[in-house]
Structure formats: C-alpha cells, structure tokens
Structure 1
C-alpha cells in the first residue's frame, strides 16, 4: 500500500465541540418581612458566602430591592431557587428567589 492510499483510507475524527453552559443569576428579592439575619443565613448556607460577604449582599438587597446570590448553570440555579424557596416557606418567611439569564 502506498502512502497516498493510506491517507485515503484514514478516517479523521473531529474533536467534539464543547460549549460552555448558559449561566443564570440567582437573585434574592427584598421584602418588608423577612429578617435580615435570616437572609444572611440563607446566603451563607446556600451560596457559601462568608459572613462579611453575606452581610454585604443582604444590605444590597435591602437598599436596592434585589441582590445576587450567585451565578450557575441552569440545573444548579434551579436547585438553589427551589432550596431557598422551600427553606423560606419552612421558616414562614416570604423571601423570594428568582433566576435570570446572564
């Protein structure tokens, strides 16, 4: 078999294209009833913020009406929203958490 024939019979495999997943912001919304310390607790527990970071985000939520918990792929963002919502309901707080496309 000559070199040319070998090349003709060679199958080139393409590298699969890997796309980054679309990211979603998980946003906590301000209300007049949820205690500030509970919002700090949620940010520490579900978004792994340090206490100082959680307080800073909580104040941002309080002053501007909403604040960023974190940015995640769709499945993780959806899970975070569900966990925060369930926890708030269990503790009888009206805290709302939503997802926004980045």
Structure 2
C-alpha cells in the first residue's frame, strides 16, 4: 500500500488558501490602506546625475630636485614623452609649478601619493599636489 511518508510535505488546497486570505482581508488594515487610491498619480523621475569633479595634478618647484628626476617622474607616472616632460619640467623650474594632468579625484589622489612616495624614497624634496578645477 502507498501510505504517505512522514517526510511528505503537507499542502493546503488553493481554494482553502484563498478562503483564508479573503477572510483576513476583512480584519487586517494592510488589505484596506489603498482602497481609495484611485486618484493616486505616480510620476517617474530621472535622477539628476552630476559629472564628477576633476582635479589637476601639479608639481611644485624646489631648489634641490634634479631636473632629470622630474622628467623621469613625468615620463614614468604620467605617460608623457620626453619632449612633453621637458616642457612641464621647465614650467616647474621657471614658474614654480607645472601641470602634470587632469584626472578624477581617485586617480589624482593615487598619482599624488605615488609621486610623493617615489620622491621621498629617492631622497628628493619634490612635492606633488592636486587642486580641484
């Protein structure tokens, strides 16, 4: 004989479930809170996205860091050609500051950290900073 085992799950007939839900709807406020929302209007809105801020990464002049070291940094960390790096290095030397590039905040912070760490490791006082545009 096929007797139901103890592991068989107990299932209620759907009609019984609907009967219980209908019965509960008469008493529970959840079922009544939107009864009179016929005049409810739902508007879809698009979020207003703001472009992320950009930051300039700049090198500051000092009297001790060799020009070749500045060029090395500009080539290795900012992907400049030798000619571009020389032009920026001369700006740093003559004007006191040179722009290395414009980046998002995270990229700019990383480049500033890497350049300052590399200069410190090589015993040069060169400083790199960032400024919001």
Shorter-chain TM-score tier: 0.7 to 0.9
Query: Radius of gyration: which is bigger?
Result: 2
Q: Write 1 or 2 for the structure with the bigger share of strand.
A: 1
Q: Secondary structure at the match of 1:18?
A: coil
1:63 has 2:94 as partner: yes
Q: Which residue of 1 aligns with 2:108?
A: 77
In 1, the alpha carbon distance for the partners of 2:78 and 2:69 equals 13
> Residue 89 of structure 1: CA displacement?
0.5
1:45 has 2:76 as partner: yes
In 2, the alpha carbon distance for the partners of 1:12 and 1:99 equals 42
- In the comparison of the two structures, how many residue pairs are matched? 95
Q: Which residue of 2 aligns with 1:22?
A: 53
Q: Write 1 or 2 for the structure with the bigger share of helix.
A: 1
In 2, the alpha carbon distance for the partners of 1:47 and 1:16 equals 35
Normalised by the length of structure 2, the TM-score is 0.65
Higher relative contact order (CA 8 A, sep 6+): 1
Structure 1 unaligned runs (5+)? Answer: 1-10
Q: Secondary structure at the match of 1:87?
A: helix
> Residue 15 of structure 1: CA displacement?
4.2
Cα deviation digits, residues 62-83 of structure 1 (max 9, x gap): 0000000111111111100000
Normalised by the length of structure 1, the TM-score is 0.84
